[in-house]
Structure formats: structure tokens, C-alpha cells
Structure 1
Amino acid sequence: MMKWARELKQYGCAVKSEINWQGGPVPKPPEGTQPGCWLLPNQDGVALEIAARQRELREAGWRIISVEPHVVSTLRNKASMLEYAKEKGIGASTPRCFGTAGEAEYPCILKPELGTFGKDTHVVRSEEEVDRLTRGEGLAPKWVLQELVPGRLEYSITLLVLKGVVVDYVNTLYEYDGEEYVWPFVKEVRHEYVSVPQAHLDVMRILLSEFSGICCLGYKLRGDGSLCIFEVNPRIGGDLVFECPKPRARALFEKLDAMFDERI
């Protein structure tokens, strides 16, 4: 469980972070909550667990957003997400991926297929460095070696999606003090809330065409202005909780609650 209680309390509504569930026996909704309390994930593994056990969770009294487990599993995995994007015809809007360290264009990014918060992710500058970090075991099935998009500007967008339709979004633009970096090992200079061109939203909609729920995407723009989505987190992210103005974040959750029916 993320320790977000203080921040969520500032929303001024009944959004809380107090259920530390990552599997095992299905929890009951907190006492005193109104019937139909939502259970929303703030970790990738929990998102997969909720998707896999949504029937049990509903029977326990939770409201759950319906999404197939394989969709959550595909999007959270940085290697399978890239393949999925290619299948959807939007591979050009994701990083180029290198099958071996020998064919890579350096500098590039080495990251684990599964992981969050930049853990074990590196900017690498040579085949020898890749070999050292992977302990000579090669890339698959653990590692992804992909294009590095240089630049100080990076975007993190939270989307509320229902069956591939973008119902709402909040987009945050960050400026950092380096051109080549791995977050969070870089200093933030500023951030602001920005809109998204319709053409970019259309690409995101295609990538999320089988998804329902709240997710956050990380992306940058290449030098020619083209979109490069480098990760999908099928869960609530820290940008919405910590950076987004509380009234705006509250409005997103209220939209989720308003559109609820038994088909979600």
C-alpha cells in the first residue's frame, strides 16, 4: 500500500488509501463506507490481482472496473507493451527496441520488463556496460533494451478509460535538469498541467482500446515532435496524488463514480 492517506484526505471526498491488500484472502470494504465502495489499485501487481479476482471482490461488496487480466499483464510489462503497440499499428509511437546489445544504438535505456520507480533502469553507453549490468545473461526474458529519447521535458498523463474510450485525463509536463536520465535520479526544475493534442490522444486510445480503469502513461516527444510512449502503468500513479491540484483530481474520481453501472 502506498502511504497516500494525507494527500487523499485533501481531496475533500471519500477517497482513501488504507487497504494493504496484495493477494490472499479477499478483504471486506471498510466499515461505515456506503454500499458499493470502489477498490482501485495503486500498484501494478495489485491491478493484476484485482483483474484476476474481480468476481470474488464484487461478491465481497466492492465495486470493480472490469478489465481482462491479460490486458493488465500486457500493458504493465515493458516488453509485451511494445509488441502490443506494434500489433495495434502504433509501434512508431513507442521506443525502438533492440534484440541484442550488439545491435543497439547508444546511448540507450536498459530496464527490467517489470518494475516501477526507475528501479534497475540505466542509461547505457556501450555493449560492455549492458553485459556488465545483465551479468552476461543476455536480455530476454528479464531485460528490455530500447531507444533513449533525449530532452529535458517528459510527460506523465493519468487517464480514466472505459472500454477504450478516454473519459477524462490529467496531463503533467515535467522539466528536469538533464538531457539523458532515468527518473527519479534527476532533479525536477518545474512542472505544469498541459493539454494533449488530439492526434496523441488518438494513439493512446488505440493502445488502451481493450482497457478500462485508471492508468498513467509516461511519454516524451522526439526531436521531430513525434510521440514516444515508454511505459503504461495500469493503476493510479503518484502524479495524480501529489502533483495534480486536488479539485481536479477529485473531479476525475467523481467522473468514475458517476459513470458506474453493472457493466463496468
Structure 2
Amino acid sequence: MLLMLSLVPAATAAARPGDASPPLRPGYVLAASDRGDDNAAPTPGETPDQSQLTIDAPLSFDDPIFVKAKAGTSTIKLPPGSSVTDLSIVENSGESTITCGSSCSLTRVRIQSREGIRCISGNINLTWVYIAATGLGNDHADGLQCYSPGSTGIITVKNSTFKMAGATTAGYWSADDWRGAHVLENVLFEGGAYGLRIPADGGSSVSLKNVYFVRGSFRYGAFSFDVVKGRRINIVQWENVRWVTRQGDRLIVGNQIPRP
């Protein structure tokens, strides 16, 4: 679904104390205006292209892009080289709803569960994917988690949304020495302790283009690129990364987020 939006100053948001997750590590501490904690006006003279005023991603679980999706109610583990198209899964096991053991592709897939996708290794591609993950109790829910210590891969996410609620870690989380490249284009993050969290262990890189964070929806911050043993993540691309603000069912595009 292609949504046209207007550029307005972003709304005020306050941090929520009391969660045990650690804050941003030294080297990536954002100013209040960059975290979304103020009501800063757009940069004077800034006139973005109209292409910057669209979010080309599914905006709800019922987005029309999923009209042909077949319903499922159980977790699945995909063998290497798998491709899944037009699938809808609603389940509540607390395990990863979809596990990509190695290279796989997901297209027009939507998930509503307590834990979204686990990526083990290889080239993993997500296109037009909507993940709504709600953590319960002692969960540490993720929309997508790269987890297999020491494993490598390239994760490419396009035209997709991560919407988190409850007991969460992040919409997108690379954990425990998982090493590789994270490429995101036309991606929307909403909710969770963080939207996007990638530590620098293993020499990982990140590329962001047309990536949007819903202002005021994160417990600690829109993103965290943790510094590990003095190593910082390699930011290959940082293009049109912005705040958006919800006004009812509408999303209003706000200020650009500076490259850290």
C-alpha cells in the first residue's frame, strides 16, 4: 500500500523509565532532538522531494497487499533455499513463527505472534512483510532476530513493517556475535524497546534507505548500534531516515534523523 503523507513538525515524546534493557552504548548517544524527545521544527529551507513523502510498506495486518495470503496457525522451519509467498500466520507459541535455517525468501508474508522471524545464516530476503509481535510475561520478543553466534549472512528487508508491543527487545535485532550485512529499504518501525538494534561485534554493516521510525513509540530509542570492544558498526548508507508521527490512522512524515 502506497501512502502519501505530508511533512510536518514531529510531536513531543517522552522516554519511559523502568525497563531493564541497557541504553545506547557510548559513541551512539543521541541528542534529545535526535531521539524524538522535543518538538523541533524542520530544518530551515529543507524542501524534500515528493518521493521522500511516501511510505511504501504495509501499514496494517489487513493491508490489501495480503489479499491472497493463505492462513496458517503454526510455526514453520524453512530448509535452505526455501521461498514462501502469500502466507499469513497467527500463532501464540512464543517460539519463532518462521525460522530461516539458511538462505530463504519471504514475499507478501504477514505474522501476528509473540516472536517473528529467526535468521540463522545465508542470504535472507524479506519483501512486503508485516510482522506484529507482542511479547507476554518474561518474553524478549523480536520482530526479526539474527541469532546463531559466529554465523554470517546478508539480510535484505524491503517494503516491510515491524510493529512491536508488550515485553520486547526490538523490531529488528542482531544478537550474540551474528556477523553480516543488514540492508533495509522502505521499512517502517513502530514500538518495542528499540526499533532497530545491531551490535558492532563481528564487523557487521548496515544500509538504510527510506527507513521510518514512529516517534514516541519506543521505550529507549529508535535504534541502537552498540559499540563492542571499541568497534563500531559500519554504516554503508544512511538515506532519508525519518521520524513519522501517528495522527489517528494517518502517518505524518517528520524530520530526518541524523546519521550517527
TM-score by length of 1: 0.28
Higher normalized strand content (fraction of residues): 2
TM-score by length of 2: 0.29
With a CA cutoff of 8 Å and minimum separation of 6, indicate the structure with the bigger relative contact order: 1
